[in-house]
């Protein structure tokens, strides 16, 4: 099949504002969008820039705005996108070049929630044990690959870049509900800030955008509930 890709391009060193480039690629319907982007980069226009690494939906490098929705270019098939495809960088972050956005602020927010185990008790001789049910409690939020699709699909985040964002909350959730972690209080305190979970307006864009199928809004809701029952 022949597909036409309209790609929003921007080189801050050369361009005053973003512009649309159009490319036509011959591809199989079962090819991924990433294959089409690679075909352009390798055979038509080497200046096109985008991130990709594992190309199997695990590393989270190639999240972008595809036909108006955030998705991983390596996970969507061309047959599901039609013959005219629009590709843009994710919204809300500074465009570093073409489809690459500056993710520094994204990872700064991620670091804010202390995404690592915090323990104060004496280290046990063997491992810290956990029952399958306790592990199940936060299973959904362990799936996050930090691609940024949820945060950059969130209107609250577009409106206020200070909002900590769904991705950081998901990663805080992963530790807040982990029975082995002892940093619950300090993490919840960070999320209780006015730019924390309370900026979430339950719009559900994050749930639709997540390529890992994480129920992000539910995770945020659970953090809100945890905060509420802690105070009341």
Partner 1 sequence: MELYAWLFMRVSGIVLLFLALGHLLIMHVIHNVETIDYHFVAHRFMTPFWRTYDLVMLWLALLHGLNGARTLIEDYVGVRGWRVFSLASLYILGFIFLALGSLVILTFQPVGG
Residues binding partner 1 (CB under 8 A): 156, 159-160, 192, 194, 196, 198-199, 201, 224, 227-228, 231
Residue 111 phi/psi, 5-degree rounding, is -65, -30
Residues 74 and 143: their CA atoms lie apart, in Å, by 17
Residue 159 CB, nearest approach to partner 1 (Å): 4
Looking at the Cβ atoms of 107 and 198, the one nearer to partner 1 is: 198
Residue 176 CB, nearest approach to partner 1 (Å): 15
Residue 155 CB, nearest approach to partner 1 (Å): 8
- Write down the residue that tokens 């997540």 correspond to: 210
Residue 102 CB, nearest approach to partner 1 (Å): 20
Residue 222 CB, nearest approach to partner 1 (Å): 14
Looking at the Cβ atoms of 14 and 231, the one nearer to partner 1 is: 231
What is the maximum alpha-carbon separation in the chain?
63
DSSP-based three-state secondary structure for 214: coil
CA 71 to chain centre: 9
Alpha-carbon Rg for the chain in angstroms: 20
Looking at the Cβ atoms of 107 and 204, the one nearer to partner 1 is: 204
Strands 95-97 and 84-88: unpaired
Residue 91 CB, nearest approach to partner 1 (Å): 16
The helix or strand, by DSSP H or E, that contains position 134, with its residue range, turns out to be helix 132-136
Span between the terminal Cα atoms of the chain, in Å:
60
Looking at the Cβ atoms of 25 and 227, the one nearer to partner 1 is: 227
Looking at the Cβ atoms of 54 and 159, the one nearer to partner 1 is: 159
Looking at the Cβ atoms of 198 and 204, the one nearer to partner 1 is: 198
Residue 76 CB, nearest approach to partner 1 (Å): 30
| CB count in 10 Å sphere of residue 188 | 19
- Write down the residue that tokens 């695990």 correspond to: 58
Looking at the Cβ atoms of 77 and 228, the one nearer to partner 1 is: 228
Beta strands (DSSP E) in 18-143 are: 19-26, 63-66, 69-72, 84-88, 95-97, 100-101
């Amino acid at each position: 099949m022949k597909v036409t890709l309209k790609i929003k391009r921007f080189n801050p060193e050369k361009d005053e504002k973003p512009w649309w480039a159009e490319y036509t690629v011959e591809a199989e319907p079962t090819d991924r969008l990433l294959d089409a982007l690679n075909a352009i980069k390798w055979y038509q226009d080497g200046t096109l820039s985008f991130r990709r690494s594992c190309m199997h939906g695990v590393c989270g490098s190639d999240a972008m705005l595809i036909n108006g929705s955030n998705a991983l270019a390596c996970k969507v098939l061309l047959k599901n996108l039609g013959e005219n495809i629009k590709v843009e960088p994710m919204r809300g972050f500074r465009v570093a070049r073409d489809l690459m956005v500056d993710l520094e602020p994204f990872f700064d927010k991620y670091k804010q929630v202390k995404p690592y185990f915090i323990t104060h008790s004496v280290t046990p001789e063997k491992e810290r044990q956990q029952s399958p049910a306790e592990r199940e409690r936060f299973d959904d939020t362990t799936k996050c690959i930090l691609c940024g699709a949820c945060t950059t699909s969130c209107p609250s985040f577009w409106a206020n870049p200070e909002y900590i964002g769904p991705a950081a909350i998901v990663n805080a959730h992963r530790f807040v509900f982990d029975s082995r972690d002892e940093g619950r209080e300090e993490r919840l305190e960070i999320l209780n800030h006015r730019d924390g979970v309370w900026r979430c307006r339950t719009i559900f864009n994050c749930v639709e955008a997540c390529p890992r199928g994480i129920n992000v809004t539910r995770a945020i809701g659970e953090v809100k509930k945890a905060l509420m029952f802690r105070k009341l």
